[in-house]
Amino acid sequence: MSRRTKRPARQGSTRPTPSAFCPCGRPDSYVTCCGRFHGGEGAAPTAEALMRSRYAAFVKRDEAYLLRTWHPRTRPAHVEFDPRMRWTGLEILATAEGSAFHSTGTVTFRASYAGGSLQERSRFERVDGAWVYVDGDFPE
């Protein structure tokens, strides 16, 4: 058995590799960004943070999180994932309300996937103090 020596870290480089970034597009690791919400270690503090975490949940195919963060009035029985779908990026286009001081909010976003993109204006509400996704429409 050969013994491998660990290479010293490159000097001056503390940025994580792109693959370590959260799928939601923030320059944080998945664990410290959306992963903590997915794992139940906290709740998204804004409608935009919930939108980002839900996008990451679609990327990770985390049905339990998606259902938990869906308004009871509009929640489906289960989430269908297309096994061929490869999400490639999220762009927040606009937000309205949705802060810690609001009870409703909207987030307009573009989610890219291999072969195209979709744009949605999502509506969010607070239920028992937590942000949940209500529904959305697809602007022309």
pLDDT tens sequence across 57-114 = 999 999 999 999 999 999 999 999 999 999 999 999 999 999 999 999 999 999 999 9
Domain membership of residue 108 as a residue range: 30-79+86-137
Residue 37 has pLDDT above 60, yes or no: yes
Whether 24 maps to a domain, the answer reads no
pTM for the model:
0.85
Whether 63 maps to a domain, the answer reads yes
CATH of the domain at 52: 3.10.450.50
Whether 121 maps to a domain, the answer reads yes
Number of domains in the chain: 1
Whether 49 maps to a domain, the answer reads yes
Dist. CA 95–CA 122, nearest whole Å: 9
C-beta neighbour count of 122 within 10 angstroms: 20
Whether 61 maps to a domain, the answer reads yes
Q: Which two tokens stand for residue 18?
A: 């792109």
Whether 120 maps to a domain, the answer reads yes
Dist. CA 119–CA 113, nearest whole Å: 11
